[in-house]
Structure 1
Amino acid sequence: MQYSDNTVLKNLKSRYDQFTNVEKTIANFFINNKETTKLSSKSIAEKLFVSEASLSRFSKKCGYKGFREFIFEYEKNISKYNKEEISNLVINTYQDLLDSCHRMIDQEQMKKVAHLLTTSNRVCVFGMGSSGIVAEEINLRFMRLGLNIESVHDSHRIKMLSSLANKDSVIIAISLSGTTKEILQGISIAKSNGAKVIMITSNRSFHLVSFCDEIILIPTIKDLEAGDCISPQFPVLIMVDVLYTYFINTECYYKTKLSTLNGLFKFEDESILI
């Protein structure tokens, strides 16, 4: 078996959703560990309260012959990330997310969502916390293209605007976890009023289907939402950039852009006269 830099950690992260609860406990330890000492099967089993047999099964599930081969490659892996090379860890994490975003892009879905935006009368972007910052970024970018759009990150305004939504409205909801209470309440109200709902999330749960017309899935890594290492909204911004590109390539876009430019030129002419 041939290995490249960071292969072990990439392997663990890519298989994470397939692990059992015990295996996730083991995976979490190795993903977060930065030490190369006391990594014997006995010491790790005692520390994690699992059996050595569980460590062996975990290693084989990850594609290794056994725990000894796994730990050999793992030690080589983490030795690269000392304090002098911490920037590599950050860059590699961004690269992993970028690669994952590329694999997850659904071109037909992007075309459909872009069409929904160009044919709507009004678009509202919901986001709480750091997602609210991204909502504002979406608002500013698409407003420049002539879209009637507004960003909302206050729970009370989310409820009010959801109540005012109708069949000509589109709601873009951002929630990495897909469990933000205020967001779910808002899109539920908007959906019941006939609005189209687009959710950007890393949550693959089927319960979101009843709230949403389109779910744009984004990749995630453990503790990404906490923002300890990198921006938790990085994958959201990537997908928004892709959607933005699809939007400006729709026929309806050119009509809205022309209208916006005409309005700007008219405003500038009136300013000159004043």
Structure 2
Amino acid sequence: MEYSENSILKNLKLRYDTFTNVEKTIAEFFINNKELKNLSSKNVAESLFVSEASLSRFAKKCGYKGFREFIFEYEKNISKYNKEEISNLVINTYQDLLDNCHKIINKDQMKKIAHFLTKSKKVCVFGMGSSGIAAEEVHLRFMRLGLNIEAVSDSHRIKMLASLANEESVIIAISLSGTTKEILQGISIAKSNGAKVIMLTSNRSYHLASFCDEIILIPTIKDLEAGDCISPQFPILVMIDVLYTYFIDNECYYKTKLNTLNALFKYDESDIII
């Protein structure tokens, strides 16, 4: 699906995680700039306190022959920018994240986690802040399939439920940053009690592996957690939807789903007055 987004900005966003700190400074300047100005290598270098050689290396890393070619394409694109295109920027941000979700999905991992959920006696979803909203959505979706599942966003309840977890429990922890203290404490307690721990995060730090049985990586963009452009729950829920699909593809879930649906229909029928 194609939109009219500034293609050079899209290129910078996609490459952002591969940049050095100096290159990230340069990239942020061009991503945030919304007007034409003196963009000579000398002027940009002085403004950013970087060398002109750094600008040249940056341009080449972005796929251009040099900084002059980069600026030519940048000015051509930025001149088309206006406030009417803001909606396209939002849509393209969603599209970029969706494309990145597709790239990092691990099918074998999803099947494995779906099996964990099928065999579990109790599932708890930990999340705080915006991740807590996502946790509640996970709770509602999987509850309809018959899972004994609960969403928890209170720090005290996270610790209490983690302490009650055992070998038949599955903990799903959601933290984009992967550094939320209350979440890390909770999964550490649950893991020590023998629970299976699944974490959804954009943090690629190897340190998290000691807390988790499986880590579902979530694609992200700069300042996603702030929610300034799009909902930070979006990439989380995309990956949850993928897991949900693998779960319902598992034959073992049908009996529990049927029991749940029968209970709902029975309640609705008893409420009818003839």
TM class, shorter-length? over 0.9
Q: Which residue of 1 aligns with 2:221?
A: 221
In the TM superposition, what whole-angstrom CA distance separates every residue of 1:154-205 from its partner, at most 9, and x where no partner exists? 1111111111111100000111111111111110111011000110111111
More displaced 10-residue stretch of structure 1: 145-154 or 249-258: 249-258
Task: Give distance in 2, aligned partners of 1:60 and 1:200.
Answer: 34
1:166 aligns with 2:186: no
Q: Which residue of 1 aligns with 2:33?
A: 33
In the TM superposition, what whole-angstrom CA distance separates every residue of 1:207-242 from its partner, at most 9, and x where no partner exists? 111111111111111111111011111111111111
Q: Which residue of 2 aligns with 1:60?
A: 60
CA contact (8 A) 1:176 1:225 kept: yes
More displaced 10-residue stretch of structure 1: 182-191 or 7-16: 7-16
Identity among equivalent positions (%) equals: 82
- How big is the shift at 1:128? 0.6
Task: Give distance in 1, aligned partners of 2:57 and 2:265.
Answer: 68
CA, structure 1 residues 88+271, in 2 after alignment: closer, same or farther (shift >3 Å)? closer
Q: Which sections of structure 2, spanning at least 5 residues, go unmatched?
A: none
CA contact (8 A) 2:5 2:89 kept: no
Q: Which sections of structure 1, spanning at least 5 residues, go unmatched?
A: none
Q: Which residue of 1 aligns with 2:126?
A: 126
Q: Which residue of 1 aligns with 2:232?
A: 232
Task: Give distance in 2, aligned partners of 1:100 and 1:93.
Answer: 11
Task: Give distance in 1, aligned partners of 2:47 and 2:8.
Answer: 21
Task: Give distance in 1, aligned partners of 2:270 and 2:96.
Answer: 50
CA, structure 1 residues 164+69, in 2 after alignment: closer, same or farther (shift >3 Å)? same
1:112 aligns with 2:112: yes
CA, structure 1 residues 268+229, in 2 after alignment: closer, same or farther (shift >3 Å)? closer
Q: Which residue of 2 aligns with 1:146?
A: 146
After superposition, residues 161-200 of structure 1 pair within 5 angstroms as 161-200=161-200
Task: Give distance in 1, aligned partners of 2:28 and 2:51.
Answer: 16
Using the size of structure 1 for normalisation, the TM-score is 0.93
Q: Which residue of 2 aligns with 1:43?
A: 43
- How big is the shift at 1:269? 6.7
Task: Give distance in 1, aligned partners of 2:218 and 2:72.
Answer: 32
